[in-house]
Amino acid sequence: MSGPRHLVSIDDLSLAEIRELFERAQEFARDPRAWASLCPGLISASLFYEPSTRTRLSFESAMLRLGGGVVTAADMSQSSASKGESLADTVRVVGGSYSDIIVLRHPSEGAARLAASYSSVPVINAGDGSHEHPTQTLCDLYNLWVEHGRIEGIDVVLAGDLRYSRTIHSFAYALARFGANIICVPQAGFEMPEYVLQRLREEFGVEPQRADATRLGSLAAASDAMYLTPQKPHQLSLFTDARGWQVDRVDAVYMTRPQTERHGAGESTSEYLRLGKRAMAEESLRDAVVMHPLPRRDEISEEMDGDPRSIYFKQAARGVPIRMAILGTLLGRLDSNAESGAAPVQRYPVKIGDNPCPNSTCISHTETRHVSPSYQLASRSPLRAHCAWCSQELPFTHVACTSTGHYHLASAPCLRRVRPDHLVFMRDEGQARELGFEPPQRAARTCP
């Protein structure tokens, strides 16, 4: 595809490109007011289908610092959309001549990918529901890179609500990709979800280890800690005793607020972690920078604000230079030497039957007119597939093959040999029969 370059997911960028962004951001940060000659005449459009003032101002400030202009729709959900306009149409109009780049915030998972597939100008994902928020992740990584000079090999504590925080999940994948080690210190009951651990295992070879976090003191007092380290089985083997890995010293503590708006009935956070001077007095945390995506409520005490290790306000401030780097790059105003993109992900259409995505706020459900349900393979054995829009795992008990016309149990070994674009996912055997596929017993031998 020779269309414009988008930033829908952090996976759209190669490690080399990300490092290049960091270096540019570094330059911008030295004197943010000196770059107004980079993008004059160019316009960025903020299309926010839910308000997010902080993110919006950060992008708009970055564009203005580059000398560009900004048009703003701070709450699209109350505008044209009310006349029933699809996101695909809006993006084609706004990207047509109104603007040279679109910054999109949307409550539906997958919205940014949809927008990118229709837009003639670059689309930046500024948050699509609980899916991705790549510029936040890049900002967090950039902070580690600035503070520690590298990301590979550093030890990062993720603390608090690790279950519902989108920021944390994306950050964990990115840390693993960059080779950092993660120590999970969840609020009790808000542990890192299984599907996140699974992806960490499948993509980065991360095997979770029980961790002895007594040296973290009160920070880890109320929970079991877990150690995640990518691609280093030889190291891990050192720790495969009963006690697991021993936390020694930490480079960063990343706190998150309780995502109370996503919590269920029984999920109380009245006893939520509160990081203060006492907790941070442990020797193991002596050089640990304290990070937080903000806004915070009580999870970091105000007494920490003056502590030199507290970088959460700096962290937010660095959102501007990193976004300047992203905007300048996608607008083609910065030359790049880095090899671009990761290997493109294969996506396959869902050919027969209902849209199998179980996520009701997925863009494949909320904007059916312009979205063809599609999936990508996560693994062949066991067979697992994700919604190509919102990345949610597809549930199925049986899988059919459009070429042979039979269906199988999802665990059937023969499925490994079916071409991905021949796969059809069935929520149950009944659906397979309704759609006219033949039962597995008669078909077993003929596959594929």
Binding residues (CB under 5 A) for Zn ion: these are: 357, 359, 362, 364, 387, 389-390, 392, 401, 404, 406, 447
Question: What are residue 81's phi and psi, to 5 degrees?
Answer: -50, -30
Q: Which of 30, 83, 369, 445 is catalytic?
A: 83
Tell me whether residue 121 or residue 197 sits nearer to its own copies (CB atom).
121
Taken in order 339, 345, 346, 347, is the CA torsion positive or negative?
negative
DSSP per-residue letters across 177-212: HTT-EEEEEEPTT-PPPHHHHHHHHHHH----EEEE
Question: In angstroms, what is the minimal distance from the CB of 436 to Zn ion?
Answer: 14
Of 105, 169, 386, 398, catalytic: 105
Residues 6+ apart with CB under 8 A from 37: 67
Residue 406: which of its own copies, Zn ion, none does it interact with, CB under 5 to 8 A by kind? Zn ion
Residue 370 interacts, among Zn ion, its own copies, none and using kind-specific CB cut-offs from 5 to 8 Å, with: its own copies
Q: How far apart are CA 174 and CA 257, in angstroms?
A: 20
Give the separation between CA 47 and CA 151, rounded to whole angstroms. 32
Ramachandran angles phi, psi of 172, nearest 5°: -65, -45
Residue 363: what are its φ and ψ, rounded to 5°? Answer: -60, -25
Q: Are 362 and 387 in contact (CB under 8 A)?
A: yes
Q: Which is nearer to Zn ion, 65 or 398 (CB)?
A: 398
357 binds, among Zn ion, its own copies, none (CB under 5 to 8 A by kind): Zn ion
Q: Which helix (H) or strand (E) holds 267?
A: none
To the query of whether residue 133 is one of the catalytic residues in this protein, the response is yes
DSSP letter at 418 equals: S
Q: Sign of the CA dihedral 255, 257, 258, 259?
A: negative
Give the nearer residue to Zn ion in terms of CB position, either 177 or 406: 406
- What's the closest the beta carbon of residue 111 comes to its own copies, in angstroms? 17
Q: Which does 362 bind (CB under 5 to 8 A by kind): Zn ion, its own copies, none?
A: Zn ion
Tokens of 3: 């269309």
Provide the minimum distance between the beta carbon of 213 and Zn ion in the complex, in angstroms, as a whole number. Answer: 36
Binding site for its own copies (CB under 8 A): 29, 32-34, 36, 40-43, 45, 51-54, 57-58, 60-61, 64-65, 69-74, 76, 78-80, 83-85, 89-90, 92-94, 96-100, 257, 294-297, 302, 313-314, 316-321, 369-370
Residue 120 or 446 having the CB closest to Zn ion: 446
Distance, CA of 104 to CA of 91 (rounded, Å):
9
Residue 65 contact, options its own copies, Zn ion, none, Cβ 5-8 Å cut-off depending on partner type = its own copies
Would you say 230 or 321 has its CB closer to its own copies?
A: 321
Active site residue 55: yes
Q: Which residues are catalytic?
A: 54-55, 83, 105, 133
